[in-house]
Structure formats: C-alpha cells, structure tokens
Amino acid sequence: MNRPWKLFGDHLRLAVRLTPNGGRDAIDGIEADGEGEPHLKARVTSVPEKGKANKALILLISRSLGIPKSSVSLISGETARKKILRIEGDPEDLARKLEAFLR
C-alpha cells in the first residue's frame, strides 16, 4: 500500500482521516479511500467544534512522532474529516518515524 505522506524540501505532508468523538486518542493505521488514495486513520476524544478535534489531532501526531506540536499544522480540511497536515522538519527523518510508529 502507498504511504499517506509526501516528502518536500523542509517538511512532510500527511493525509489524515479524523474521527472526532472516537472514544480514545489513537492512530489506527493506514487505509485507502474510495479513490484509492491512502490516508492515516486517527481518532480523538474531542468534539468537532471550535477546532478542538483539530488541536487534539495535532497533539496526537506530535506526541506519536516525538516532535513539538508547533511543528505540526493543518493546511487543509479544517471542517472536513479528511485533512492534510504539514509537519516541519527533515522529511526523511519524519518518514522513518512514521514507518516505525506504524509497525
């Protein structure tokens, strides 16, 4: 399966499908959508109002990768389930951390 991230010069972009009110904060692996595009499945306990679920997602990703939450930002999908995150840092290193976390 393809990976839900793309490497750029100084950052990595990560496609995520977020489930708010998910009962727990967790990353549930990778899956493909109906068009075959891969995304990371994530769930958070926060509600999808006033950006609370997005903030919880950023915190979940930053903790999972061991990076500061200021390195993670939402670049699209503010009110949608499908989101694109920009993660600042060495893209190769970030990709390795994601691979290791998802094993």
Look at residues 48, 45, 73, 44 and name the one whose alpha carbon lies nearest to residue 58. 73
pLDDT mean over 37-55: 96
Cα atoms in the 13 Å half-sphere on the side-chain side of 89? 20
Q: Which fold, 5-102? A: Conserved Hypothetical Protein Mth637; Chain: A; (3.30.1200)
Question: Cβ distance 6 to 38 under 8 Å?
Answer: no
Per-residue pLDDT tens for 48-78?
Answer: 999 999 999 999 999 999 999 999 999 999 9
Alpha-carbon span 92 to 103, nearest angstrom: 17
Q: Residue 26 and residue 47: Cα distance in Å, rounded?
A: 15
User: Which DSSP state fits 49?
Assistant: S
What is the average pLDDT score of the chain? 95
Which token pair is 43? Answer: 């769930």
Contact yes or no for 55/45 (Cβ under 8 A): no
Rg (CA), the chain: 13
pLDDT of 1 over the 70 cut: no
pLDDT higher than threshold 90 for residue 101: no
